[in-house]
Amino acid sequence: MNDVRALVFDIFGTVVDWRSSVIAEGERLNAEKGLAVDWGAFADQWRGTYAPSMARVRDGELPWTNLDALHRMALDDLLPAFGVTGLSEAEIDHLNRVWHRLKPWPDSVAGLTRLKTRFTIGTLSNGNVALLTNMAKAAGLPWDVILSAELVRAYKPDAACYRSAADFLGLEIDQVMLVAGHKSDLWAAQKVGLRTGFVSRPLEFGPTYAANAAGGPAFDYEATDFLDLASQLGA
């Protein structure tokens, strides 16, 4: 086995708290516009379109479509379904880009800053490059490199997406570790040969929802947050 040289991170739910971020911006919109939208339900349904919309791209039903555009297709359905009408194009576009403004978990920036001293750190996300770049700038995420499904036009869990991280970094596949809060993402990466680091994010789907079932193949590392992961990795 080679030494790990690079850590690549799943983003939505692993590095940033998408649910609370969408709720917070949505509640500000409620106040501004006199709306009474349940933004927890809105966030869950919006996020619920994520896997099926990418599956349509993977299956060839849609041509390559980046995540901003998939989010927008879903948003255009969700707004009238939640009784939101009369927003301008600029307001809808701004709301769609809430995914560029998601807030990190409390340990994310400090943990990444430590991990960066010892490893190359990058995104490996289904989010598009603009989304990931803008998010990093807004949230202070200190990436060395932005890697995305968009670069190879293959959404995770497509093996091509995982392999691309090693190829772009000029590393062997087992010199790269995927860090994620979702076991399914890690198992798909494991099959391709990446190392895996599981970080528990029990609040991703809100306070009453257990995100990951127990069991399944083990990971190289399991950590409670990024600071714990940094300590385990000697960073």
Round to whole Å and give the CA distance between 37 and 154: 34
Separation of alpha carbons 211 and 51, rounded Å: 15
Residue 153 near its own copies by CB under 8 A: no
- In angstroms, give the least distance from the CB of 167 to its own copies: 9
Among the listed residues 73, 130, 173, 227, the single contact to its own copies using CB under 8 A: 130
Q: Binding to its own copies by residue 124, rule CB under 8 A?
A: no
Binding residue (CB under 8 A) for its own copies from 14, 21, 96, 128: 128
Given the rule CB under 8 A, which of 19-27, 39-47, 72-80, 137-145 is the region that contacts its own copies?
137-145
- Residue 68 to residues 50, 62, 71, 100, 190, Cα–Cα distance (Å): 11, 14, 5, 9, 28
Q: Which tokens is 196 given?
A: 């895996």
Longest dimension (CA), the chain: 58
- Contact between 22 and its own copies by CB under 8 A: the answer reads no
Alpha-carbon distance 38 to 229, whole Å? 35
Under the binding rule (CB under 8 A), the answer on residue 145 touching its own copies is yes
Question: Applying CB under 8 A, which of residues 150, 158, 185, 204 lies at the interface with its own copies?
Answer: 150
Our finding on whether 125 is near its own copies (CB under 8 A) is no
Question: Quick check: 221 binds its own copies (CB under 8 A)?
Answer: no
Q: Which residues is 121 bridged to in the sheet?
A: 7
